[in-house]
Chain A
Amino acid sequence: MASAVAGSSAAVPFWRAAGMTYITYSNVCASLVRGCLKEPYKSEAATREKVHFAISKWANGKPEKPTIRSDSPEE
Chain B
Amino acid sequence: MAMTALRREGRRFLLSPIPPNPSTAARSTMLSESTAYEMRWFLIVSLGDDLISGEVPKSNIHRKNHGRSRRSFVFVCSFFVNAGDLSLLGIRSISTQVVRNRMKSVKNIQKITKAMKMVAASKLRAVQLRTENSRGLWQPFTALLGDTPSVDVKKNVIVTITSDKGLCGGINSTSVKISKSLYKLTSGPEKETKYVLLGEKGKVQMVRDSKNSIEMTITEVQKNPVNYTQVSVLADDILKNVEYDALRIIFNKFHSVVSFIPTISTILSPEVVERESESGGKLGDLDSYEIEGGETKAEVLQNLAEFQFSCVLYNAVLENACSELGARMSAMDSSSRNAGEMLDRLTLTYNRTRQASITTELIEIISGASALTG
Contacts and interface: CB of A to CB of B under 8 A. Distances in A.
B298 interface: yes
B292 interface: no
Contact of B230 (A21, A50, A58): A50
Contacts of B295: 10, 13
A12 B300 CA distance: 11
B217 A12 contact: no
A8 interface: yes
Contact of B306 (A13, A22, A48, A54): A22
A49 B298 contact: no
Interface string B280-307: 0000000000000011101100110011
A69 B237 contact: yes
A13 B302 CA distance: 12
A9 B302 CA distance: 15
Given A22-B302, A23-B306, A61-B211, A55 B232 contact: no
B302 to A, nearest CB: 7
A74 B296 contact: no
Interface residues of A, number: 38
A56 B220 CA distance: 11
B218 interface: yes
A52 B220 CA distance: 7
B217 A58 contact: yes
B316 to A, nearest CB: 15
B286 to A, nearest CB: 18
B221 interface: yes
Contact of B216 (A48, A55, A69): A55
Interface string A23-62: 1101100110000000000000001111111111110111
A63 B41 CA distance: 67
B172 to A, nearest CB: 18
- Report whether over half of chain B's contact residues are helix, strand or loop; otherwise say mixed: helix
A52 B230 contact: yes
B217 A63 contact: yes
Contacts of A27: 229, 232-233
Contacts, number: 103
Contacts of A30: 229
A56 B217 contact: yes
A1 interface: yes
A21 B217 contact: no
A57 B227 CA distance: 23
Nearest to B234: A53
Interface in B212-240: 212, 214-221, 223-225, 227-230, 232-237, 239-240
Given A22-B306, A52-B223, A57 B233 contact: no
A23 B214 contact: no
A51 B222 CA distance: 10
Given A57-B215, A60-B212, A61-B214, A23 B235 contact: yes
B310 interface: yes
Given A63-B217, A68-B220, 7 more contacts: A13-B295, A21-B239, A22-B307, A27-B233, A47-B225, A57-B241, A60-B212
Interface of A: 1, 4-5, 8-10, 12-13, 16, 21-24, 26-27, 30-31, 47-58, 60-63, 66, 68-69, 73-74
